[in-house]
Amino acid sequence: LLYEEMGVIEEGGLLDSFLADIMAQEDLAPVYAMVLDPEGRVLAHNRYAEYGRVYRDPVSRRALEARGFLRQSAVHAGVTVWDLAYPLAIHGKSWGVLRVGVSLAPLNEELRELAGQIFGFSAVFSLGALVVFWAVGAGLARPLLRLRAHVEAVGGPEYPEVAPSGRRDEIGDLERAFAEMVGRLRASEAEREKATRKLLENERLVAVGQIVAGVAHEVNNPLAAIESALFQVERCCQGDGTRYAGVIREGLERIRRVVGQLVDLTRSGEIRREPAALPEVFQSASLFAKMALKRKGVRLESAGAVPDVAFPADRTKVHQVLLNLLLNAADAAGEGGTVRLEAGADEGAVWLAVEDSGPGVPSGDAERIFEPFFTTKPPGKGSGMGLAISRRIAEGHGGTLTVERGRTLPGARFVLRLPRTNPEERE
C-alpha cells in the first residue's frame, strides 16, 4: 500500500501477488485471503469479484479493531474455518488488515486419523494388557488353588503330599510354610497313632495278663498232677503204653511252654535298665549262637569291629531277643545255611542285626509276624510268640524291632534298635 501510495508499483499488483502466494500454500489449506482497508473495503482478494466490497460483519469488525494477531472461528460458504487476522500498521498508522481463512477440514481429518490410531493402539494395548493380566492372574491363582485343595485335603483321612513349587515370592513362602506345617501334622499324627496303638496294646496285655495269670494257675496245677500220674504210667507200662506216654509228655511240655510264653508276653514290658556295653552283649550272643547253630548245621558269621558304646538296657531281656532272632534265622536258613550277626551305633541309638540266607519274609507278613500266635513255621514248630515278645521288649526299652530284606544274605534281616540314653530321662 505504501509502495502504491508512493507510485512505485502498479496499484494492487503487489497485494495480488502476495495473496496468490498465500493461496498457493497447500499445506495451510487456505480458503480465502484478502486485504481490507481501515473501512473494511476490499483492496485485494483471491477472488477478483470481491474487489471493492465492504465487509461489515462481526468477524471483519473484530479483525479491524484488533491491535495484534487475532484468530477466530468463522463460517465461510458453509465450511468452518479459522479466520486469521493481522493488522497492517506502520509507525502507528493503520493501513488495514490482512485476513486469511484456513480450512479446518484437513485438521479434522488428521484428528480423525489420529483418533483412529489412538483407538487402535488402545485396543491392541488393552488386549495385550488383558492377556498379560490373565497370564499373571493364572500364574498367581494356580498355586493358590492347588494350596486351597491341599488345605481342604488336610481334613481328610490322609494328609496330602505337598511339594512346594520353588517360587521365590510370598506365595512360595506360603507353600513352604504350609508344607512344613503338614509335615509336622503328619509327624504328630504318626506319633499319636503310635501312642494310641501302644496304649491299646498295653491295655490288651494287661487284660491278657490278668487272664493268663488265672489260666496259668488253673492249668499248672492239673498239669503237675497229670505229669505225676504220667511218671507212674511210664514206670509201669511197657511197649505201646510207653510210646503213648511220650506223646502225652510232649503235649504237656507244649502246653507248659505256651503258658510260660503268655506269661512272658505280659511281663515283657517290665524293663530293669542298667549300663550295658555293646561289645559284651554282642560277644555273649555270638558265643551262645555258635553252640546252638552248630547243632543245627548252620554257619554263623560275625561282623568285624563292634563300637565300644554303652547304653542302658535290661541285658537279660536283650539277650533273650537276640537268641530268639538267631534261632529263628537258623530255622529259616536250614541246614547248610548261613546266619550273620552284626552290630553298630549312630548318634542316638545302638543296633544289632540278624540276617539269614533263608527265603525271607513276604512283604504282606512284615508286620503280622510280630503279632501273637502268628507264625510262618510248620505246625508244631513254633508258637508264634517269640517275635511278639521280642518286639514288646524292644518297645519297652524305647526302641524298635523291624524286618527288611537282607543286605549281604538273600533272606530276612531283623534289626533291633535301642536308644543310647534312657527315654524316661529324656522326657
Residue 3 has pLDDT above 50, yes or no: no
Question: 511240655: which residue's cell?
Answer: 253
Q: Which residues contact 25 (CB under 8 A, 6 or more apart)?
A: none
The more confident residue out of 210 and 131 is: 131
Mean pLDDT over 330-338 rounds to 91
CATH architecture for the domain at 272-426: 2-Layer Sandwich (3.30)
Give CA–CA dist 374/372, Å, rounded. 6
> What Å distances lie between residue 426 and 114, 193, 198, 309, 419, CA to CA?
82, 21, 19, 19, 10
pLDDT tens-place string over residues 347-367: 889 999 999 999 998 888 888
Q: How confident is the model at residue 325 (pLDDT cuts 50, 70, 90)?
A: very high
pLDDT tens-place string over residues 40-99: 888 888 888 888 889 888 888 888 888 888 888 888 777 788 888 888 877 667 788 888
Q: What is the pLDDT of residue 9?
A: 43
Highest-confidence range of 22-26, 375-379, 405-409, by mean pLDDT? 405-409
Mean pLDDT over 298-325 rounds to 89
Find out whether 350 and 309 touch, Cβ atoms under 8 Å. Answer: yes
Mean pLDDT over 113-131 rounds to 90
Q: What is the pLDDT of residue 413?
A: 95
Q: What is the pLDDT of residue 337?
A: 93
C-alpha cell at 368: 503280622
Mean of all residue pLDDT scores within the chain: 80
Q: How confident is the model at residue 8 (pLDDT cuts 50, 70, 90)?
A: very low
Q: What is the pLDDT of residue 215?
A: 66
What predicted TM-score, i.e. pTM, was given to this entire model? Answer: 0.49
Residue 328 has pLDDT above 80, yes or no: yes
Q: How confident is the model at residue 253 (pLDDT cuts 50, 70, 90)?
A: confident
Share of the chain above pLDDT 70, in %: 78
Which one, of 261, 255, 177, lies nearest residue 220 by Cα? 255
pLDDT tens-place string over residues 260-294: 766 666 665 567 889 999 999 999 999 888 888 88
Map residue 320 onto helix, strand or coil: helix
- DSSP bridge pairs for 404: 413
Q: How confident is the model at residue 176 (pLDDT cuts 50, 70, 90)?
A: confident
CATH number of 2-103: 3.30.450.20
Residue 425 has pLDDT above 60, yes or no: no
Q: How confident is the model at residue 329 (pLDDT cuts 50, 70, 90)?
A: very high
Mean pLDDT over 124-151 rounds to 79
Share of the chain above pLDDT 90, in %: 18
Report CA torsion sign: 324, 327, 331, 332. Answer: positive
Mean pLDDT over 203-223 rounds to 67
Nearest 5°: the CA angle 391, 395, 398 is 150
Mean pLDDT over 375-400 rounds to 79
Mean pLDDT over 368-387 rounds to 74
